Amino acid sequence: MNISYVEHRMILPRRWYYTVLFLFLFSSVSFIEAQEDTAIAVEEKSTYVNLNTEKPDSKIIIGALEYVRLVPPNLVLKARIDTGAKTTSIDARNITPFERDGKQWVRFVCVSGEKEYTIERKVIKTVQIKRHGAESQDRYVVKMRIILGDVSQLISVNLNDRDEYKYPVLIGRNFLRDFFMVDVAKKYQFKPMSLPK
């Protein structure tokens, strides 16, 4: 079939249009993927993702109260050790959910004295916590690094405003298992190690 000069002139721009549209869409997808990869890389770097301690031959005896390092924001805080709690819980104020690259994230504030530290973490899941004498509470779960003595673990923690509690961190069994035994007669046995610079 013969194509007239006018029809030929109309087909070329149309082809260019589709080519440009394809390149634009491909570039947009690549940019979004790059942004997501950057966010994950920053998140992993902020928790020193490859710094987990290997399981010891024998368990370490700790007290009912200990100092722990919370990463991020790399703060040393007082923690109550609770073998009855399944999951570790940390003090988180002004908890605000938001979306980043189609994934659910949460922004919250950690308080140490008069200083406040804003942290953003990807949400792993939401759990319902049953409380004695109070209504059940839905909480966000995120990954945080906890260090107690020389033991460093990247674990799931639930976020809860613990302003009314005496201790900003509650260490549960998901941090204790394989590493620790608790002597309730003791307290503050260890100083959490510092992170490599």
What is the 3 state secondary structure string of 111-154? Answer: EECCEEEEEEEEEEEEEEEEECCEEEEEEEEEEEEEEECCEEEE
Sign of CA dihedral 181, 187, 189, 190: positive
- Which one, of 47, 83, 46, 62, lies nearest residue 185 by Cα? 62
Q: What is the Cα–Cα distance from 103 to 124, expressed in whole angstroms?
A: 10
Q: What is the pLDDT of residues 100-118, one digit of tens each?
A: 999 999 999 999 988 999 9
In this structure, what DSSP letter does residue 59 have?
Answer: P
For residue 26, pLDDT beyond 60: no
Condensed to tens digits (0 to 9), the pLDDT of residues 110-157 reads 999 889 999 999 999 998 877 666 677 899 999 999 999 999 999 999
Give the position of tokens 């966000």: 140
- CB-CB neighbours of 22 under 10 Å: 10
- pTM of the complete model: 0.74
The domain segmentation of the chain, as residue ranges, is 1-46, 60-187
In a 13 Å sphere around the CA of 41, the CA atoms on its Cβ side amount to 6
Pull the structure tokens for residue 23: 């390149």
Please list the alpha-helical segments (H only) found in the chain: 5-46, 173-176
Q: In this structure, which topology does domain 60-187 adopt according to CATH?
A: Cathepsin D, subunit A; domain 1 (2.40.70)
Spatial distance between the Cα atoms of 197 and 193, rounded to a whole number of angstroms: 12
Question: Helix or strand or coil: residue 20?
Answer: helix
pLDDT surpassing 80 at residue 88: yes
Q: What mean pLDDT, rounded, does the chain reach?
A: 82
